[in-house]
A and B are shown apart, each in its own frame.
Chain A
Amino acid sequence: GAVVSQHPSRVICKSGTSVKIECRSLDFQATTMFWYRQFPKQSLMLMATSNEGSKATYEQGVEKDKFLINHASLTLSTLTVTSAHPEDSSFYICSAPEGQGANLEAFFGQGTRLTVV
């Protein structure tokens, strides 16, 4: 199947700094990618939909100025957590759809565990 690569897998940063997470579709093009956040022992919550060449669509309650999304090419979307605080510590995971019709499937990256100290 298709491969989505997410980098870094783990990052520790200081409060107030910014962190960039990359999501790449390795063997297919993705005009849309999705960013999720997963709190410990909880489910994945959709944060935003990343659209190639246009603005991202954010879910209700997600601060777009804090979670900057850039989808500059058909294979790369980035999520930047700006001015990170300890409450931003979480597991972030991206996905990209690949295929046609009933064969359309969402492929997920490995996730990024962010710890803000």
Chain B
Amino acid sequence: AQSVTQLDSHVSVSEGTPVLLRCNYSSSYSPSLFWYVQHPNKGLQLLLKYTSAATLVKGINGFEAEFKKSETSFHLTKPSAHMSDAAEYFCVVSDGYGGATNKLIFGTGTLLAVQP
């Protein structure tokens, strides 16, 4: 069975400093991994996804994540935080492409605060 663990429930950074949101996964299969962002009272937006291609995945808004099989990790990073990055971030695992027959398993989320 798949599962995902987000190691930090809250992360606070200063504007302009790097962001690191940690995620570890467990999967019996070759997993697909995703990062979603949720702004207050809004739906989820896909930031990036890993589907067994390049291990370093670049997403929207300057975010990227690296798939490390040896560490079962898929941490999300951004070189320089912006105030608009303040939101909740979810690490998600699926046993396929996250499509019609594959369920998405969500982590518990990390709330990112960006201080001016």
Contact = CB atoms under 8 A, between A and B. Distances in A.
A2 B42 CA distance: 16
Tell me the dominant secondary structure on chain A's binding face: strand
Interface stretch (A13-21, A42-50, A62-70, A78-86): A42-50
Nearest to B90: A43
Interface string B46-86: 10010101000000000000000000000000000000000
B43 A110 contact: yes
A95 B105 CA distance: 13
A6 interface: yes
B90 A108 contact: no
A43 B100 contact: no
Interface residues of A, number: 28
Given A105-B46, A111-B43, A43 B98 contact: no
Given A43-B90, A43-B109, A46-B104, A111 B99 contact: no
A34 B43 contact: no
Contacts of B45: 108
Given A44-B44, A44-B90, A106-B104, 14 more contacts: A31-B100, A34-B103, A41-B109, A43-B106, A43-B108, A43-B109, A44-B106, A49-B103, A97-B98, A97-B100, A101-B97, A102-B97, A105-B46, A108-B45
19 contacts: A4-B43, A31-B100, A32-B101, A34-B103, A36-B106, A42-B109, A44-B90, A46-B105, A93-B44, A95-B104, A97-B100, A104-B99, A104-B100, A105-B46, A106-B46, A108-B36, A108-B43, A109-B43, A110-B43
Interface of B: 36, 41-46, 49, 51, 53, 90, 97-101, 103-109
